[in-house]
Chains A and B, each alone.
Chain A
């Protein structure tokens, strides 16, 4: 039994990593807490629900469209709400704007889909497999594999593709990257776009596993991203992975063996503890104030 819990935990961890990547990149690059992050990709997931469960599109097509929509929505939010405020004197101003964007998207989603829990269809038939004398479900393993695939693919993209490397440059130093001829605005749009896309993929995998999708998952999704990013350390891929995994596995274990109604409280407590002890996270570097 424990092995099941562990596998599901790892699966959730991988999904959390996937949805956190977009948030973490944006924060690492622009120091902006994108409060709208969760609501954006839940919007995409809800769209996928409509495409799959109601329009009966073939799954791959539905997922693709939803992911693209999520990515486009994410970059649109950046373009309309955040871009102008990048140079603002007080950083909290763009944080509050992000909150506003979150509300707009949340409300729009609610108008379309309501706030109840909708039955998201499974993507893979459930099958049991016998390994080492235990019967375990194959679905979480497949989901995990897909999530890992995207994480690895994105990592390869960042490190080997021209645009990925440009993203890494911009993450480190915007003025210098700009002087090197990198189109900053385009790169930033791309970061939001990719982050949104991966968030949607993660959201879809999650909803398919639990056969549930609802509006409320948007806010929760944002908190998950915050918490995973804080635990693991902002701005580093390995940090995001570590944070996502720790959060996913511990959450699952606690929710199964302790109590599931306190699941959210525990996540917030973890967040608080980490913020108080080492806010830069496990892999993060302590930043020095430049004088």
Chain B
């Protein structure tokens, strides 16, 4: 059984069909890549998966459960986390707090707890903090945890955003152009990190423009064009596919 499956997913905005009849499955433990020219609907698709948009038609199933139309926060609780194309860490909050917010839905503290049993509540908070610091240790950011996120260099902020997504212990992480703005060295570090993540059991779905990056880490690739699923295959197959080259090169010819 696939970890996540979409079935005939549709999304329209006014007259524009952003996502058209997409049927896709993500297998547990894989790294699935999605590529496609600008405007092909990749970000809309990820927004549908993460609950920011509701699909007009079709459904999304996650671990056998229908999650279509659930609001974003609920989907995160179910075990899907994401990052954003244009980096949305909380810039004016500390690194530690960014992660703690990411862990929000796993911190088991109700209002009743906080008021009536402050010692238990403090213990739970401490537990959350410890788990999150473990994550920070892994990426060598633990000693910077009191710093405001905006003071970190760009590459580390990107890493921070991924860690923030990991803080909720998701089974599936959706990454929207994670290496935008990175230099080749940072990209290689990120690629190694993501592979490590996969090896530890997290499934990854990555939208990326950078061919070198996505070809190096994805096991399977889906190509999107004008909102539809155009091709699906291994990196080698996609790279050699003439049609795929055309939809990318075709863009250049028009320009």
Chain A positions near chain B (C-beta within 8 angstroms):
288, 291
Contacts and interface: CB of A to CB of B under 8 A. Distances in A.
B148 to A, nearest CB: 14
A291 B47 contact: yes
B109 interface: no
B43 interface: yes
Interface in B127-160: none
A130 to B, nearest CB: 54
A248 to B, nearest CB: 34
Contacts, number: 5
A288 B53 CA distance: 11
Contacts of A288: 13
Interface string B36-56: 000000010001000010000
B165 to A, nearest CB: 16
Interface in B5-61: 13, 43, 47, 52
A288 B12 CA distance: 13
A288 B11 CA distance: 14
Nearest to B46: A291
A291 B177 CA distance: 14
Contacts of B84: 291
A291 B52 contact: yes
B13 A291 contact: no
B64 to A, nearest CB: 29
A291 B47 CA distance: 9
A93 to B, nearest CB: 14
Contacts of B52: 291
Contacts of B13: 288
5 contacts: A288-B13, A291-B43, A291-B47, A291-B52, A291-B84
Nearest to A89: B92
A125 B190 CA distance: 81
Interface string B61-96: 000000000000000000000001000000000000
A87 to B, nearest CB: 15
B149 to A, nearest CB: 14
A262 to B, nearest CB: 40
A236 B48 CA distance: 32
Nearest to B53: A291
B83 to A, nearest CB: 13
A210 to B, nearest CB: 46
B208 to A, nearest CB: 17
A288 B43 CA distance: 15
Nearest to B52: A291
Nearest to B91: A89
Nearest to A289: B52
A288 B52 CA distance: 12
A288 B47 CA distance: 14
Nearest to B47: A291
A288 B16 CA distance: 14
A291 B52 CA distance: 10
A291 B85 CA distance: 9
A288 B13 CA distance: 10
Interface in B101-132: none
Contacts of A291: 43, 47, 52, 84
Contacts of B47: 291
A288 B14 CA distance: 11
A291 B51 CA distance: 13
Nearest to B44: A291
Nearest to B85: A291
A133 B43 CA distance: 68
A222 B80 CA distance: 47
B111 to A, nearest CB: 26
A291 B43 CA distance: 9
A258 to B, nearest CB: 42
Nearest to B13: A288
B164 to A, nearest CB: 17
A64 to B, nearest CB: 46
A291 B13 CA distance: 13
Nearest to A288: B13
Top 3 closest pairs, chain A to chain B, by CB: A291-B47, A291-B43, A291-B52
A284 B47 CA distance: 26
Interface string B222-237: 0000000000000000
Contacts of B43: 291
B198 to A, nearest CB: 26
